Amino acid sequence: MKILVIGNPQRYEKFSPGEEIIGRYDVVYCPVGSEDEELLRAGGDADVILADAISGVSAYVIDRMPNLKMIHSEGVAYNKIDVRAASEKKIYVCNNKGGNAAAVAEQAVLLMLGLLRTVVPGHEAVLAGRQIERKEHLMVKGITDLADCAVGLLGMGDIAKATAARLHAFGCQCFYYTKHRKEASLEQELHLTYKPLDELLPMCDIVSLHMAVNDETVGFMNAARFSQMKRGAYIVNTGRGELIDNDALCKALEVGTLAGAGLDTVFPEPVQKENPVVKFAEDNPGKILFSPHIGGVTTGSFKRMHRHMWENVRRIEFGEKPDCVVNDIV
């Protein structure tokens, strides 16, 4: 059985569950960003595609791979895969649901703390020999405890649930919004209070994004929604950059609607210096805290996700239905 991997071979070598598993397959690799024709030349006869979560798998490729039975995201996101085209061909599309939830939740909390404690400006002040000046400035300006913040979670999937559990340990008051309210038992377990979006945005000191990317959520945080937020609040995004309108974000930061933004992901990826959000951050130090989309790429997460992927490959080999299928196969 042939496997086309769109991703870094070193990562697969490091996190594979063992040569005795991978060694039984014909595995070929293409780098992230490969053109459709490159993918087809390397793996047009493949049975399975394993794709980096930010790699596209187009209808053009799917239509020209006669043996293809499964496309598996290496991560949780699968919005770059043409799910409709795969479904029409009765090809499974799978992800690693929940595989990196704890890791991304940690990243969300890290960004919240980093913004509240102005970690980067503080680091730079110490390097510049201005430690005591920075300390005096912050003692007058004030530092907000995370425990004193009302945090609003938009979305309530695995990552949002893990984030809520960690925020409760800090003593935060947590609210959430999702299209369909969750059951009361979950709200009680995670100490969550449901609020409609137009109530949540004006009352929260921090809003954290945990929604999947789809037609309804692209640009979800736009100028209108930023204007609804509590003045001086923070936005944190460990989901996908597409959830935020970049121009609207920069404007909200510029006029003071937002005090800051913590971003693990920025659209589009790979993020370039010319990106308007990056340029705004350069011109306005301390307003944005970036991390390079590493929330879910911890060693433990990759080990879990690769083990799951190769188990699904085994299922395909033996004619079984894989786990974590995201599309409808009739």
pLDDT, tens only, 47-100 = 999 999 989 999 999 999 999 999 999 999 999 999 999 999 999 999 999 999
Residue 243 lies in a domain: yes
Residue 329 lies in a domain: no
Asked if 86 and 204 sit in the same domain, the reply is no
pLDDT of residue 330: 72
Give ∠ CA 11-16-22 in degrees, rounded to 5: 115
Asked if 160 and 273 sit in the same domain, the reply is yes
Phi/psi region, residue 149 (left: phi>0; alpha: psi -120 to 50; beta: rest), is beta
Asked if 116 and 41 sit in the same domain, the reply is no
Residue 323 lies in a domain: no
Asked if 167 and 94 sit in the same domain, the reply is no
User: Which residue numbers in the chain have pLDDT < 50?
Assistant: none
Asked if 262 and 154 sit in the same domain, the reply is yes
Distance CA 92, CA 84 (A): 11
Residues designated as active site: 240, 269, 293
Q: Burial of 325 by CB count in 10 Å (0-12 exposed, 13-18 middle, 19+ buried)?
A: middle
Q: Is 71 helix (H, G, I), strand (E, B) or coil?
A: strand
pLDDT of residue 36: 98
pLDDT digits (tens, 9 = 90+) for 166-210: 999 999 999 999 999 999 999 999 999 999 999 999 999 999 999
pLDDT of residue 125: 97
pLDDT of residue 16: 86
Residue numbers of the domain that contains 92: 2-99+298-317
What total number of domains does the chain contain?
Answer: 2
Asked if 169 and 280 sit in the same domain, the reply is yes
Asked if 55 and 95 sit in the same domain, the reply is yes
Alpha-carbon distances, residue 267 vs 212, 249, 264, 310 (angstroms): 14, 12, 10, 30
pLDDT of residue 113: 98
Asked if 232 and 173 sit in the same domain, the reply is yes
Asked if 32 and 107 sit in the same domain, the reply is no
CATH number of domain containing 273: 3.40.50.720
Residue 322 lies in a domain: no
Asked if 29 and 118 sit in the same domain, the reply is no
Residue 67 lies in a domain: yes
Phi/psi region, residue 253 (left: phi>0; alpha: psi -120 to 50; beta: rest), is alpha
Distance CA 229, CA 235 (A): 9
Quick check: bond before 285 cis, omega within 30? no
Residue 135 lies in a domain: yes
Which amino acid appears at position 11 of this protein?
Answer: R
Q: 48 has which bridge partners? A: 3, 70
Residue 180 lies in a domain: yes
Asked if 134 and 216 sit in the same domain, the reply is yes
pLDDT of residue 329: 86
Asked if 308 and 285 sit in the same domain, the reply is no
